[in-house]
A and B are shown apart, each in its own frame.
Chain A
Amino acid sequence: MNATVQTATKPKATLPDPDINEVSKQYWDALAKGKLTFQHCRKCNNNWLPARGECPRCLEADWAWHEASGKAKLISWVVFHRAFHPAFEERLPYNVAVVELAEGPRMITNIVIDDAEKLVIDQPLTFVPAEEQGHGIARFKPA
């Protein structure tokens, strides 16, 4: 999805923007450059998403952003045949998935595939950088 297409199909209704704060800004800045990152705890080696100020395992605030390998697996997915927001009316049916990065963190995403009903639980996936409403986002495709 390139910027031109984005402008041409820009929905009248605007989607809620993500909450970009002091902690999450680096995540969104990296995605805007096509890089998927996650937080790594220097104290206990835990990796996580979404962005938070403290490690949810050891509660310390000593972490760094690491770039993900882009390898992931499919945990689950759904296919929307009904739009709950006007911005998605013309995209039906579309899928939303939960994936687990090779490094551990899980996230909400979309799978780039024509027929999402052909997906299989736990199948390997690869990161695909994308753009939505001026923000970089992370989609995945079957590996």
Chain B
Amino acid sequence: MTTNLSGKSVIAGIGATKFGALPGRSTISMNVEAIRKALQDAGVEKDAVDALWVKCPTSKFELMYGQKIAEATGLQPRIGGVWDQGGASNIMMISYAAMAIEAGQCEIAVICFADNPKTGSAASYSRPRGDDALYGWFATLSSYAMIARRHMGELGTRREDLGAVAVASRRHGAQNPNAQLRKALTLDEYMALPPMVAPFCRDDCALVSDGAGAVVVMSAERAKKMGVKKPVPILGFGHGQTSWEVAQRPDMTSTQAKIAAETAFKMAGLSRKDIDVAQIYDCFTITVLMTLEDYGFAKRGQIGDFVKGGNIEIGGELPVNTSGGLLSETGMPGMQLIHEGVRQMRGEATLQVKNAKHCIISNQGGVMHTHASLILGQ
């Protein structure tokens, strides 16, 4: 006997700092600002919050980091903590909050993330991978490039297909006044860029950014009682963990994103054709192509045809990353995608998709080690 939680919880508020370089700001300070703004957006008094989930900064792991955020916000949560699943953490924490609320363990949860790799240290992105430094095996982007090359060789994906993802995020980000990189990119410009770690060039890679984001989650019933102005229902979520290092994965070109999406669609009682807009984790261009394939928006090996000709840009069949994603808005690992999903469902996005009723959001972490999907409605 299972309970379907679809629509039981809502995202009641969102808040973020500026994106880009925020010199002198600690991650704790940025988290507090994002939380303050999210609570204001929801119209919730801080003292009503009884749960706090935090994603630890990528650039610096700190023991008991969640307790530091609780102290800085003057909270003594009933439940919560730090979730260590990389960029998949934010959606995962939102789903744990929804489950905990329904189980009576808490009533109003805050989920937040902050990091400052741009003005602080970005060393975690270029570290050696595992025990293979002697082979020159360095940096996160190289592992994603390894996956991209396999995808190209096995399934016929071309650099133009990777480029279509960068072009879409950059076009959308250029129109977002809060985006860190507001410079549109043409496919010709993309194709002319020199390789960095081939098959990737610079513009296949996420930005490095300072900033924080937070969301407030509560039951739909509570939001109604409190008069929350624009609650966005959480219709579905699902997780999947691919877990193994890239070199050890028997299948390099598909991940447990498939399981995550299946779980989320089943919970929401929806299918791919019900999705009007998507925010797909674009730490690297290949991630968007593989996620869309694993989510079933294109058959395996046919993603190039799906993304070409502006099909994932505003006005296309499935607008993706309408505020610019990690490639253009901010390199923040995933919270900004949730915020844009909320704005699309509220009807207040800068690049609003007309009549959009359902948005799917993906978060993923490590080198596609972890994945989480979230479906929002109205």
Q: Which residues of A contact B (CB under 8 A)?
A: 15-19, 50, 75-82, 84-85, 88, 91, 93-94, 96, 98, 106-110, 117, 120-122, 132-133, 135, 137
Contacts and interface: CB of A to CB of B under 8 A. Distances in A.
B139 interface: yes
Interface string B105-143: 000000000000000000000101111111111110010
A18 B131 contact: yes
Interface string B40-62: 00000000000000000000000
A17 B147 CA distance: 25
Interface of B: 126, 128-139, 142, 145-147, 149-150, 153-154, 194-200, 246-248, 252
A66 B133 CA distance: 24
Top 8 A-B pairs, shortest CB-CB distance:
A121-B153, A84-B138, A76-B150, A79-B198, A108-B132, A84-B126, A132-B134, A16-B133
Nearest to A117: B198
Given A110-B136, A121-B150, A121-B154, A78 B247 contact: no
B150 to A, nearest CB: 4
A120 B247 CA distance: 17
B142 A80 contact: yes
Contact of A15 (B130, B133, B149): B133
A82 B197 CA distance: 7
Given A84-B138, A108-B132, A121-B149, 13 more contacts: A18-B132, A50-B130, A76-B149, A78-B145, A78-B197, A78-B199, A81-B194, A84-B126, A91-B136, A93-B198, A96-B142, A96-B146, A109-B135
Given A76-B147, A81-B197, A108 B128 contact: no
Contact of A110 (B126, B135, B154): B135
A132 B136 CA distance: 10
B374 to A, nearest CB: 30
Contact of A77 (B133, B134, B146, B248): B146
Contacts of A98: 146, 246-247, 252
A135 B134 contact: yes
A16 B128 CA distance: 8
A58 to B, nearest CB: 17
Contact of B149 (A78, A88, A109, A135): A78
A78 B133 contact: no
B252 A76 contact: yes
